[in-house]
């Protein structure tokens, strides 16, 4: 077993050589230390299973250097693509279906029995470089043996291993003590709706998308992508969008793009003066886009008079700008209310747009 | 319904509750006998506390007092006490506007029409702004005499600029319209009010902004938008954003990238200083200059591409004399004659402009069945 510093000049060469020889490495990530072997090599994988003392049949996730590498092994649907584009590299493991006829194969014992594989791109530059240089995925399970505590420093690992296990380690990349970040979130994208299997620092139950955009065109793209994903719920539900963003952040542009994506033919203009503007979506359900600007609303009483509940029906999208001032009322009446029939029919999404600079925006979309 | 005798100079009660204002007017032909606008009268004082709190857009509380005030004022001029029975028709704005506001006026008009058997006329709010230049005062003084009006050659171009709209509309005849261009985002009046708020002048502060602009210079020379765009559409949202960033820059509110990774930092800017009076004057002036430039560009483009010789301007923004000057100069360049409403109240949202359009509908007997009339928040002038 050799221990090399993460700053070692020949790090990549040394690690690649170990991996090529069916070796086992301990490596740092943005979450904790992981244990890596060539995920395509059965001999390596059996060594890993022995190290983890993990029965065969329990899936092990892998780390890749980029989306392209992932795509060699797994199918990426829209949901998965969305996460790859917006959250990776980062602490998120995305479960996808293995490619049935792919040229490149993952070794036995890695994927789940039903052919699903967890993939992640660690947000750790050196690791990405290593995988890129190696050209194949490596396993990315945490370096503790099954059930033991999350390893943030080398001693966490070594102190809890048996001599046998320790002897299986060929190389340790030492990056001292890592920040104590929670393990990665694990999301299953193989079903129609995304499911969070383990919640890490990125919460998918709530967080739909978090992204920085540069320029109006990118904001438009995000809006289109967002609504493309939610389009189908309009068949059975009403989508209520609450904007929280300052003036000039691009709320109207966001709504314009949603409208375009949904086939609205009219020009979507600012609803500031009129308070409410509505547009036909041109779908079978006769749905409408209701665009509301609460900026000029001075009191909750006044807001109540707008009778927005009448718009909260199946097939409609209701987008409220400047929802901040009236959001407590909205929550009370439409979201938290127990006896409200509407509630079941309602999907509520918050969109926060924050300035980073004149052209840069940070867009955070959450389920409320 | 009354006997079908069409009066050449009908007495028409008109109502407009399209958004913020509750308004009622009485017209005698094209002569405005009264034009009552809720924000301009202190109803709660006049009606002895019957209405304890008159909030903005409390149309249901204001509609009756406003109608009675309109009838009363018209009655003073006619030297008789007017009642609904004296009316030849009742006209109401059915859209575009805010649904809950429109329906107050529409329901009231339907009720009066049904109860008193008066013909009902529905009017598009934008057509009201368009034809406001045809309204005359109670002594029948206006932009045109009957004879002069008959000699006008259509098409007429409408330049309608308000808090909710900014549109170029072509009238092939009265009642037959085509929208040539419109704002793609904020209306011009809205941009004024929003910039006023950015500069800390309160809301709505468009008028204050325009006053302040007189003391400033076009120091910041903002870029005129859509110069290469060949359509007749406008856009004021980007201008507003440009002013906002300039004001942030002046205040030293610059985002610090070094704080990006600090979870407590929500992207706030460090305020270094407040805007000086002169900054505000200069920003206001620079905003007006770029807005005027944009309006001029697009108006010029419309006139260059059409054979219009008569223009009617309308809407609250046009009550700004600087904007009238911009429009007048551009029209002059194209040898076109431009007309403006004759009274300040005819620029803003008001019922007399609705009564003006109603006069023409009345002569053509274009009445609607009260049972069939409904408000249409997205009513279009060209449909």
Helix (H) or strand (E) segment spanning residue B279: helix B277-304
Residues A279, B241: C-beta atoms closer than 8 Å: no
Judged against a pLDDT cut of 50, whether residue A200 lies above it is answered with yes
Q: Using beta carbons and an 8 Å cutoff, which residues of A are at the interface with B?
A: 247-248, 252, 266-267, 269-270, 272-279, 296, 298-299, 301-302, 305-307, 354-358, 362
Residues B245, A248: C-beta atoms closer than 8 Å: yes
The whole-number pLDDT of residue A205 equals 62
d(CA B206, CA B190): 8
Residues of chain A with C-beta less than 8 angstroms from the C-beta of B100: 305-307
Residues B182, A356: C-beta atoms closer than 8 Å: no
Residues A302, B55: C-beta atoms closer than 8 Å: yes
Q: Which residue, among B60, B229, B255, would best test binding to A if mutated, counting the most A CBs under 10 Å from its CB?
A: B255
Both tokens assigned to A32: 């904790």
d(CA A208, CA A222): 12
Q: In CATH, what number does B11-137+344-372 get?
A: 3.30.420.40
Q: Which residue, among A202, A217, A246, A248, would best test binding to B if mutated, counting the most B CBs under 10 Å from its CB?
A: A248
Residues of chain A with C-beta less than 8 angstroms from the C-beta of B382: none
Residues of chain B with C-beta less than 8 angstroms from the C-beta of A274: 19, 96-98, 164, 377
Per-residue pLDDT of chain B in tens (383 residues, 90 and over written 9): 545 578 899 999 999 999 889 999 999 999 999 999 988 766 544 444 333 334 556 788 889 999 999 999 999 999 999 999 999 999 999 999 999 899 999 999 999 999 999 999 999 999 999 999 999 999 999 999 999 999 999 999 999 999 999 999 999 999 999 999 999 999 999 999 999 999 998 877 888 999 999 999 999 999 999 999 999 999 999 999 999 989 988 887 755 444 444 444 444 455 567 899 999 999 999 999 999 999 999 999 999 999 899 999 999 999 999 999 999 999 999 999 999 999 999 999 999 999 999 999 999 999 999 999 999 999 999 98
Measured in degrees and rounded to the nearest 5, phi and psi for residue B157 equal -95, 130
Average pLDDT over residues A241-255: 88
Judged against a pLDDT cut of 80, whether residue A109 lies above it is answered with yes
| HEC secondary structure over B118-179 | CCEEEEEHHHHHHHHHHCECCCCCCCCCHHHHHCCCCCEEEEEECCCCEEEEEEEECCEEEE
End-to-end CA distance of chain A: 50
Q: How far is CA A165 from CA A48, A224, B287, in A?
A: 10, 50, 72
Query: Quick check: A238 and A316 in contact, CB under 8 A?
Result: yes
Residues A273, B97: C-beta atoms closer than 8 Å: no
The whole-number pLDDT of residue B53 equals 39
Our CA angle for A147, A150, A152, nearest 5°, is: 155
Q: Which residue, among B62, B192, B244, B381, would best test binding to A if mutated, counting the most A CBs under 10 Å from its CB?
A: B244
Residues of chain B with CATH 3.30.420.40: 11-137+344-372, 158-339
Give buried/exposed letters for B70-86 (b at 16+ CB in 10 A, else e): bbebbbebeeeebeeeb
The predicted-structure confidence for A19-72, as pLDDT tens digits, reads as follows 999 999 999 998 999 999 999 999 999 999 999 887 666 789 999 999 999 999
Q: How far is B79 from chain A (nearest CA, A)?
A: 39
Residues of chain A with C-beta less than 8 angstroms from the C-beta of B183: 269
**Closest chain B residue by Cα to residue A267:** B184
How many interface pairs between A and B have CB atoms less than 8 angstroms apart? 76
Is the ipTM higher than 0.95? The answer is: no
At the topology level, CATH places domain B158-339 in: Nucleotidyltransferase; domain 5 (3.30.420)
Residues A302, B56: C-beta atoms closer than 8 Å: yes
The predicted-structure confidence for A297-346, as pLDDT tens digits, reads as follows 877 777 888 888 889 888 899 999 988 777 777 777 776 665 555 556 78
Which of B190, B266, B377 minimises the CB distance to A272? B190
The whole-number pLDDT of residue B228 equals 94
Q: How far is B219 from chain A (nearest CA, A)?
A: 20
Residues of chain B with C-beta less than 8 angstroms from the C-beta of A305: 57, 100
């Amino acid at each position: 077993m050799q221990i090399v510093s993460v700053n070692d000049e020949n790090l990549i060469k040394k690690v690649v050589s170990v991996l090529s020889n069916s070796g086992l490495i301990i490596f740092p990530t943005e979450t904790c230390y992981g244990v890596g072997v060539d995920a395509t090599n059965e001999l390596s994988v059996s060594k890993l299973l022995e190290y983890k003392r993990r029965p065969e049949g329990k899936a092990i996730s892998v780390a890749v250097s980029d989306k392209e590498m992932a795509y060699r092994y797994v199918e990426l649907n829209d949901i998965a693509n969305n996460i790859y584009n917006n959250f990776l590299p980062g602490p998120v493991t995305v479960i996808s279906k293995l490619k049935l006829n792919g040229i490149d194969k993952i070794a036995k014992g890695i994927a789940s029995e039903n052919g699903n594989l967890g993939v992640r791109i660690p947000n750790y530059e050196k690791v990405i470089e290593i995988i890129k240089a190696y050209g194949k995925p490596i396993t990315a399970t945490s370096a503790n043996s099954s059930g033991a505590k999350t390893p943030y420093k080398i001693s966490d690992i070594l102190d809890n291993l048996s001599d046998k296990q320790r002897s299986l380690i060929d190389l340790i990349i030492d990056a001292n003590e890592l920040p104590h970040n929670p393990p990665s979130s694990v999301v299953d994208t193989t079903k129609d709706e995304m499911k969070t299997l383990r919640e890490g620092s990125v919460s998918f139950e709530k967080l739909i998308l978090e992204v920085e955009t540069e320029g109006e065109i990118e904001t438009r793209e995000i809006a289109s992508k967002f609504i493309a994903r939610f389009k189908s719920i309009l068949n059975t539900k009403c989508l209520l969008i609450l904007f929280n963003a300052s003036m000039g952040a691009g709320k109207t542009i966001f709504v314009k793009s949603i409208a375009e994506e949904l086939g609205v033919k009219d020009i979507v203009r600012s609803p500031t003066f009129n308070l409410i503007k509505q547009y036909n979506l041109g779908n079978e359900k006769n749905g409408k886009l209701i665009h509301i600007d609460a900026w000029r609303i001075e009191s909750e009483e006044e807001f109540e008079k707008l009778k927005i509940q009448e718009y909260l029906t199946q097939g409609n999208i209701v987008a409220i700008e400047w929802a901040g001032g009236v959001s407590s009322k909205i929550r009370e009446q439409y979201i938290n209310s127990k006896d409200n029939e509407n509630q079941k029919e309602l999907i509520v999404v918050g969109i926060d747009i924050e300035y980073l600079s004149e052209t840069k925006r940070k867009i955070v979309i959450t389920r409320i | 319904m009354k006997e079908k005798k069409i009066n050449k100079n009908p007495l028409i009660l008109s109502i407009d509750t399209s958004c913020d204002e509750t308004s009622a007017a009485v017209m005698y032909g094209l002569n405005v006998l009264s034009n009552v606008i809720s924000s301009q009268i202190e109803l709660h004082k006049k009606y002895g506390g019957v209405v304890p709190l008159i909030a903005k857009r409390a149309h249901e509380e204001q509609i009756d007092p406003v109608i009675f005030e309109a009838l009363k004022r018209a009655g003073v001029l006619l030297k008789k006490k007017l009642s609904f029975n004296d009316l030849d028709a009742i006209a109401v704005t059915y859209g575009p506007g805010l649904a809950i506001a429109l329906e107050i006026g529409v329901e009231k008009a339907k009720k009066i029409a049904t109860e008193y058997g008066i013909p009902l006329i529905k009017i598009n709010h934008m057509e009201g702004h368009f034809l406001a230049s045809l309204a005359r005062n109670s002594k029948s003084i206006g932009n045109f005499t009957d004879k002069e009006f008959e000699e006008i050659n259509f098409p007429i171009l409408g330049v309608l600029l308000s808090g909710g709209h900014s549109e170029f509309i072509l009238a092939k005849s009265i009642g037959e319209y085509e929208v040539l261009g419109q704002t793609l985002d904020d209306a011009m009046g809205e941009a004024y009010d929003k910039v006023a708020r950015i500069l800390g002048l309160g809301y709505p502060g468009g008028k204050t902004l325009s006053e302040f602009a007189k003391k400033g210079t076009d120091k910041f020379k903002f870029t005129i938008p859509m110069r290469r765009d060949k359509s007749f559409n406008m856009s004021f949202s980007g201008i507003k954003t440009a002013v906002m960033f300039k004001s942030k820059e002046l205040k030293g509110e610059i985002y610090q990238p070094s704080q990006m990774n600090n979870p407590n930092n929500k992207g706030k800017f460090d305020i270094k200083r407040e805007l000086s009076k002169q900054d505000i004057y200069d920003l206001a002036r620079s905003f007006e200059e770029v807005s005027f430039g944009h309006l001029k560009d697009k108006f010029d483009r419309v006139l260059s591409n059409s054979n219009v010789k008569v223009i009617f301007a309308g809407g609250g923004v046009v009550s700004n004399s600087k904007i009238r000057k911009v429009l007048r100069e551009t029209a002059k360049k194209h040898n076109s004659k431009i007309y403006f409403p004759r009274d300040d109240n005819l620029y803003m949202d008001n019922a007399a402009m609705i009564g003006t359009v109603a006069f023409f509908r009345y002569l053509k007997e274009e009445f609607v069945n009260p049972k069939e009339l409904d408000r249409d928040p997205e009513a279009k002038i060209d449909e």
